[in-house]
Structure 1
Amino acid sequence: MPETDSRPYGLQRPTVQDARDALHRVHGPGGPAVWAGLLTAAGIKAGDTSDSAVLHIVEAMAQLDPVSRLCAQALRIRLSSHTHLGAAHTLTRS
């Protein structure tokens, strides 16, 4: 797949689905309840997949239990990496 600005160096920006999957992985059978509580805390409606929803979810996730906070940190790292690599990719292509 050719590189595009939305996938610099093949790195995809984290999505709401990525956040949901991470939370379900670490919370196991309790994942759906934690996810529902997280959406409420973040003020996000089920089905919202916007970039702003991802940011709100990560912020709310960072206020939960220690394991959820680690998930939030991992997602922040991925978001930051995507942003910075995208900027570097744009500069090196111009």
Structure 2
Amino acid sequence: MSQVTVYTTQHCPYCLSAKSLLARKGVTAIEIDVETSPQRLAEMLQRSQRRTVPQIFIGDRHVGGFDDLASLDRKGELDALLHA
């Protein structure tokens, strides 16, 4: 299974939704809280070119936010990415 990284903050409902969807898929994501670490926030900005959370990476591929993740799941493409 591919490594999944999720950049989050503690009070973000979309972050919770993303983690919940991934958990239903059997994925234990690496969660990086950007709220408590300016260095991690800078890392997220550099990797994703986006300022909002969550920012989700499957392997080295930037998936985007929760809406993007959910869209991949609805299209039936998420499982293939997770098991690549």
Alignment TM-score > 0.5, same fold:
no
Normalized against structure 2, the TM-score is what? 0.28
More strand as a share of residues: 2
More helix as a share of residues: 1
Structure with greater Cα Rg: 1
